[in-house]
Structure 1
Amino acid sequence: MEAKSPKESLIVNTDQVMINDLNNYNTLFGGVLMKKLDNNATLSARRHARVKECVTASTDSIDFLHPIHQTDSVCVESFVSYTGNRSMEIFCKVIAEDMITGERRMAATAFLTFVALDEDKKPVQVPDVVPETEEEKFLYESGEERAKTRRIRRKHSKELTEIIGLEKPWEKEGEYVGTNASQS
């Protein structure tokens, strides 16, 4: 399987901010941006692996650096920054541009991890990535450390799921939960 350059998986998507995308502070809802990131990253993963289906394994981090306003455009760039055997780390950057002044700022950065699937929904091996630019090399060289952190976090999550319960909070034996008197 031939290694690929990050630019081969580059997806760039620019959108305007609509009024229904705003929160009560008149800035873009974080969840709206998260959906844009996931959509972009999915396309980068599929382009890199050249498969019909890729699934999000984790959203490793999203750092909201500057608010995005209704007067801004939102440009999401994503590409494969690091690969494991069957997983792909996708780096996303979000550039907000004030459409009136032309001022551009880095609004957010994110790392998501995807797994490529075959026709039977089984994980498949993905091509390695060969960084070329200074940005790509920095991301690639720090990728193994992020992969280790993901493995530790995944192990912790599995341990946590063995401890936490599935019962509904209001049905816990012998406990009163809630503030509404009608629940007692």
Structure 2
Amino acid sequence: MRSARAGVFAIASAGLAGAGHHVASGEPVPWRLLFLAAATAFLGALPWTARPRSLAAVVSATCAAQLVLHEVLAQAGPDRHGAHGTGHPIPGEHGVHPGAAVMLLAHTLAAVAVAVLLQQADDQLDSLPRLLDQLAATVRATVARWLGRLRTHPRPGHDATRAGGRRRKAAGMPAYAVLAHVMVRRGPPGHGQLPSHP
């Protein structure tokens, strides 16, 4: 479960950052860089995935990952000055330009949305073993009930009725004695009477 949590977090973080930078800058993001970012996010998240975390922790981790990935992708951009193609050659002006602020805000909002979805998915996966146990208990109870009905109510012509007939004959009981209290309603009166003695 730890590797699955870390893997989903890494893929979501790297994919979100890559898609955001591609949409904002119009430039393709190198896939090798995204793969490296996902691997780094996976290794960074792995120690923290032993148990489910709170929503605040997931939002904080996702926002931190987006900030780091934002900087890495901005530095790897075509102008390599961190200004996202705005013409500012001074790296210190990165946070001043409105385009950078919009991109940072977009990263933050997307990170919060992804964190909420990751948290909900983790909660659902965390409850999966309990749901599977309930399903298995229901199936076991249903099968036991069906088997119980088959044992107490055998089918007509089943081996148990034939075996019962053999037991009655072996005990010295005549075959017609079993039917002594059967009412015959077909035909004229007195037509279907069974003899009382052999």
| TM-score, length-scaled by structure 1 | 0.26
Q: Which has the higher strand share?
A: 1
Which structure has greater helix proportion?
A: 2
- After TM superposition, the score normalised by the length of structure 2 is 0.24
